[in-house]
Amino acid sequence: MKKRIISFITAIVTAAFALSFAAFADFNSPADVQPVIDEIIAFELKKNGASDVQDWINGNLTRNAGKSSEWYAVILSGSGKYDMSGYADALEKYIAENKISSSTSRMKCAIALLASGRGGKLTDEIAENSVGEQGIMSFIYGLHLLNNGCSCSRYTTGTLTDKLLSMQFDDGGWAIMGQYGDIDVTAMTVQALAPQYENSEPVRSAVDRALAFMSGKQQDDGGYVSFGAANPESAAQVLIALSSLGIDVTDPRFIKNGSSIIDGIVKYKLADGSFSHTYGGDSNDTATVQAYLSLSSYILMKETGARIYEFPAASSGPEPESVDTPEITTAAETAPAAAETVQTAKETVSPAPEAKNDYKPAAYCIIAGIAVTGCIILFVLKKRRLSNFIAVVIAAGAAAAFIFFTEFRSSDDYYSGSGHVKENVIGKVTMTIRCDAVVGKGSSPYVPADGIILDTTEFDIESGETVYDILTEAARTYNIQLQANGDYIAGIAYLYEYDYGDLSGWIYHVNGDTPFVMCSDYKLSDGDVIEWLYTCELGNDL
């Protein structure tokens, strides 16, 4: 008997190990990665109601040209399998008819045009009017344009390269602000410098330092953390950088605890084939397309040796009728459907002590009634074994326990308009929530004319309370909509990340500084000044 038990336990452990290995298998070859890409494509086809990839391109990708399709266009153009002319026509029309206020958004459109085989006057005009106009990101995107044949009277590939090299920090990284490297910006800078790596000693030296920086920042699961949050997009940017340099994911510098960068990306894949921004979170469009872009970059490098941002000579397509490179207002406006997001289900906020629980006595009565009814039915059906009645009682008890330990609140209850009374106050902090950076951009009804969502307001704090705690308290007290995926703040007052471009979203300051930890990890002290600010350029515009 003892041997049977040991054998059974051994079998269970072996099976568990096998399942665990399968769930976290290394993704270190195109054969491993292609099925992940196929699932992303299947997800996108289903989401967009398309029968195949060409149908998707001709449909929603073309309809959303200039708004949300550009990275998909870069990926699909690179495969050389599809007709991108309809999309390119639509993108040229969008650029000609719309004012795009962000230079990086303009250049992203130009990159997509070049990838689709369209170069010439329009992309040159975008380069002329955009390179260097929006900080480091406009130098990075600008170098991509010049690497692919665009002209600009103010810069050459050489002067842009020198500019980027001069912006490298002592730690080997690059960033939009501060004095220390940021993993995303560092990886994107390396992508732009990659074509010169073999032939320029200054570039090789700078990139080697950046590789050491990126290797040192890699986590044990193969992934990366940016602004205190683990996410797949940062790992995706590093994968594109390595692929642009011809470095395989099996390079020992980028293997941590047996995990590769692709392992660090794929752990965010959801059952439907899409990707989440936070582990265990909901499907996220940006995470999905960045995973798609990076995995496609890897396969392209392995199969052809080419770079994802290296386009064949773009042919001169038909010029739009009116092409004075507009000054801009692209800002993707908040979709009305997004405004209907029910937030309280996504937040991890403990119910306030004063939450109403008047529904509980009625719920207990309903459970008891159902249990009694079940017992009567068992009796009538002559299924009168004691075990049947015990099962009913246990089920009723479990339901009652669930009700007892759970607080259900309507949005009216949650946004109660009254603050939580704190018993062990250790001081006070102030907080303001503003969106000045998007005032006058677009016509969203959720942007106040003065940019103030919450004016400077004082809050009591208890020991251990964090910036996240005070933000959620303010949301409840002042009826401010909040979307928090775990402790990652995706939206406040119906203004969401990426609504105003790839670099837009919410950041917070404490006493004028940007902490590089999640808001749930920043513990407050008496007198702290908290600012939540919406940015279009990762804080560079604040």
Domain shared by 127 and 265, yes or no:
yes
Token pair in block for residue 336: 């009305």
Mind spelling out the 3-state secondary structure of 271-296? CCCCEECCCCCCECHHHHHHHHHHHH
CA angle 167, 172, 176 (to 5 degrees): 45
Of 80-94, 207-221, 290-304, 512-526, least confident by mean pLDDT is: 512-526
Domain shared by 379 and 288, yes or no:
no
Token pair in block for residue 237: 């940017």
In a domain, 245, yes or no: yes
Token pair in block for residue 526: 């008496």
395 pLDDT exceeds 90? Answer: no
Domain shared by 293 and 167, yes or no:
yes
396 pLDDT exceeds 70? Answer: yes
**Of 338, 371, 404, which residue sits at a domain end?**
404
The b/e string for 500-509 (b: 16+ C-beta within 10 A; e otherwise) is bbbbbbbbbb
Residue (of 339, 285, 279, 233) closest to 486 by Cα position: 279
Q: What is the CATH number of the domain that holds 492?
A: 2.170.130.30
CA-based radius of gyration for the chain: 27
Q: What share of the chain is helix, strand, coil (3-state, %, to 5)?
A: 45, 10, 40
Number of domains making up the chain = 3
* pLDDT tens string 72-88: 999 999 888 999 999 99
Q: Could you list the residue range(s) of the whole structural domain that residue 376 is in?
A: 359-404
Domain shared by 367 and 435, yes or no:
no
The pLDDT of residue 356 is: 40
The pLDDT of residue 119 is: 85
The pLDDT of residue 486 is: 61
Say how many C-beta atoms besides its own lie within 10 A of residue 446's C-beta. Answer: 19
* pLDDT tens string 35-58: 999 999 999 999 999 999 999 999
**Mean pLDDT score, 202-229:** 93
The pLDDT of residue 15 is: 40
Domain shared by 459 and 373, yes or no:
no
Q: What is the CATH number of the domain that holds 103?
A: 1.50.10.10
Domain shared by 198 and 62, yes or no:
yes
Torsion angle, CA of 181/187/190/194, rounded to 10 degrees? 170
In a domain, 84, yes or no: yes
In a domain, 269, yes or no: yes
Which range has highest mean pLDDT (315-329, 335-349, 484-498)? 484-498
Q: What does DSSP assign to residue 133?
A: S
- Separation of alpha carbons 109 and 502, rounded Å: 12
Half-sphere exposure of 327 (CA within 13 A, CB side): 1
Token pair in block for residue 118: 């369209």
Q: Name 342's Cβ contacts closer than 8 Å, sequence gap at least 6.
A: 411
- Answer positive or negative: Cα dihedral of 360, 361, 366, 368: positive
276 pLDDT exceeds 60? Answer: yes
In a domain, 411, yes or no: no
- Separation of alpha carbons 110 and 66, rounded Å: 10
Domain shared by 398 and 474, yes or no:
no
Of 213-227, 410-424, 449-463, least confident by mean pLDDT is: 410-424
In a domain, 335, yes or no: no
* pLDDT tens string 354-379: 334 455 777 778 888 898 888 888 77
143 pLDDT exceeds 90? Answer: yes
Domain shared by 101 and 133, yes or no:
yes
In a domain, 41, yes or no: yes
- Separation of alpha carbons 541 and 453, rounded Å: 18
Residue (of 225, 241, 236) closest to 189 by Cα position: 241
Element (H, E) at 534: strand 529-535
β-strand 529-535 against 425-434: which pairing, if any? parallel
Contact by Cβ (8 Å): 167, 221: no
Q: What does DSSP assign to residue 256?
A: B
Domain shared by 112 and 158, yes or no:
yes
Q: Name 141's Cβ contacts closer than 8 Å, sequence gap at least 6.
A: 104, 107, 108, 111, 130, 131, 192
In a domain, 290, yes or no: yes
**Mean pLDDT score, 245-264:** 95
The pLDDT of residue 13 is: 36
Type of residue numbered 429: V
Say how many C-beta atoms besides its own lie within 10 A of residue 415's C-beta. Answer: 19
92 pLDDT band, cuts 50/70/90, is: very high
Contact by Cβ (8 Å): 191, 309: yes
In a domain, 343, yes or no: no
Token pair in block for residue 305: 């040796």
Torsion angle, CA of 165/170/176/182, rounded to 10 degrees? 110
317 pLDDT exceeds 50? Answer: no
The pLDDT of residue 433 is: 96
Residue (of 458, 486, 456, 469) closest to 522 by Cα position: 469
345 pLDDT band, cuts 50/70/90, is: very low
Domain shared by 239 and 380, yes or no:
no
Domain shared by 104 and 201, yes or no:
yes
- Separation of alpha carbons 41 and 274, rounded Å: 9
Helix (H, G, I), strand (E, B) or coil at 452: strand
**Of 312, 328, 347, which residue sits at a domain end?**
312
CA angle 188, 192, 196 (to 5 degrees): 140
The pLDDT of residue 405 is: 59
Domain shared by 446 and 384, yes or no:
no
Say how many C-beta atoms besides its own lie within 10 A of residue 195's C-beta. Answer: 21
* pLDDT tens string 430-485: 999 999 988 988 778 889 999 999 999 999 999 889 999 999 999 989 999 988 76
Residue (of 419, 367, 424) closest to 398 by Cα position: 367
pTM of the model as a whole: 0.65
Q: Is 460 exposed, middle or buried (0-12, 13-18, 19+ CB in 10 A)?
A: middle
- Separation of alpha carbons 28 and 165, rounded Å: 31
Q: What rounded mean pLDDT belongs to the chain?
A: 82
The pLDDT of residue 401 is: 76
Residue in the structure block whose two tokens are 């080697």? 208
The pLDDT of residue 483 is: 85
3 pLDDT exceeds 50? Answer: no
**Mean pLDDT score, 6-12:** 42
11 pLDDT exceeds 90? Answer: no
Tell me what percent of the residues of the chain surpass a pLDDT of 90: 54
**Mean pLDDT score, 176-189:** 88
- Separation of alpha carbons 520 and 349, rounded Å: 11
**Of 286, 312, 338, which residue sits at a domain end?**
312
Query: How long a stretch of residues is the chain?
Result: 542
